[in-house]
Chains A and B, each alone.
Chain A
Amino acid sequence: MDAVIRIDNLSKIYADGFRALSNISLDIRRGEIFALLGPNGAGKTTLISTVCGIVNPTEGSVVADGYDVVHDYRAARSCIGLVPQELASDAFESVWATVNFSRGLFGKAPDPAYLERILKTLSLWDKRDNRIMTLSGGMKRRVMIAKALSHEPTILFLDEPTAGVDVELRRDMWQMVRELRDQGVTIILTTHYIEEAEEMADRIGVIRKGEIILVEDKRILMHKLGRKQLTLQLQNPIAVVPPALSQYPLTLSEDGLQLSYRFDTRSDSTGIAELLRKLNAEGIDFRDLHTEESSLEEIFVSLVRNDLERNTV
Chain B
Amino acid sequence: MNWYAIRAIYRFEMARTFRTLMQSIASPVISTSLYFVVFGSAIGSRMVEIDGISYGAFIVPGLIMLMLLTESISNASFGIYMPRYSGTIYELLSAPVSWLEIVIGYVGAAASKSIMLGILILMTARLFVPFSIEHPVWMLAFLVLTSISFSLFGFIIGIWADGWEKLQIVPMLIVTPLAFLGGSFYSISMLPPVWQTITLFNPVVYLISGFRWSFYGVADVSVETSLAMISLFLVICVFIVRWMFLSGYKLKN
A residues adjacent to B (C-beta < 8 A)? 14-15, 49, 52-56, 73-78, 80, 82, 84, 86, 88-93, 97, 100-109, 147
Contacts and interface: CB of A to CB of B under 8 A. Distances in A.
Interface in B85-108: 86-88, 90-98
Given A89-B88, A90-B86, A90-B88, A107 B94 contact: no
A80 B253 contact: no
Contacts of A89: 86, 88
B89 to A, nearest CB: 8
A106 B87 CA distance: 18
B8 A88 contact: no
B90 A105 contact: no
A106 B253 contact: no
A91 B86 contact: yes
Contact of A54 (B4, B8, B90): B90
Interface in B43-87: 83, 86-87
A102 B248 CA distance: 21
A184 B30 CA distance: 57
A123 B139 CA distance: 52
Given A49-B253, A77-B94, A82-B94, 7 more contacts: A56-B253, A88-B87, A88-B88, A91-B86, A104-B5, A105-B91, A107-B97
Interface residues of B, number: 27
Nearest to A46: B253
A106 B248 contact: no
Nearest to A104: B8
Contacts of A73: 96
B96 A55 contact: no
Nearest to B98: A74
Interface of B: 2, 4-5, 7-9, 11-12, 15-16, 19, 83, 86-88, 90-98, 248, 252-253
A103 B12 CA distance: 12
Q: Give the secondary structure class of B's interface.
A: helix
B92 to A, nearest CB: 7
Contacts of B4: 103-109
8 contacts: A49-B253, A74-B98, A82-B90, A92-B16, A101-B8, A105-B9, A105-B91, A105-B97
Contacts of A52: 93-94
A101 B12 CA distance: 7
A104 B91 CA distance: 12
Given A55-B253, A74-B2, A107 B96 contact: yes
Contacts of B88: 88-90
B163 to A, nearest CB: 18
Given A77-B95, A104-B7, A15 B253 contact: yes
Contact of B252 (A55, A75, A92, A108): A55
Nearest to A52: B94
B192 to A, nearest CB: 50
Nearest to A83: B90
Most buried by A among B12, B19, B92: B12
B91 A75 contact: no
A126 B146 CA distance: 44
Contacts of A105: 4-5, 8-9, 91-92, 95, 97
B60 to A, nearest CB: 35
Contacts of A107: 2, 4-5, 95-97
A241 B7 CA distance: 76
B185 to A, nearest CB: 37
Contacts of B9: 101, 104-105
Instruction: Please name the 4 residue pairs, one residue from A and one from B, whose CB atoms are nearest each other, closest first.
Output: A104-B8, A88-B87, A74-B96, A77-B96
Contacts of A106: 4-5, 95-96
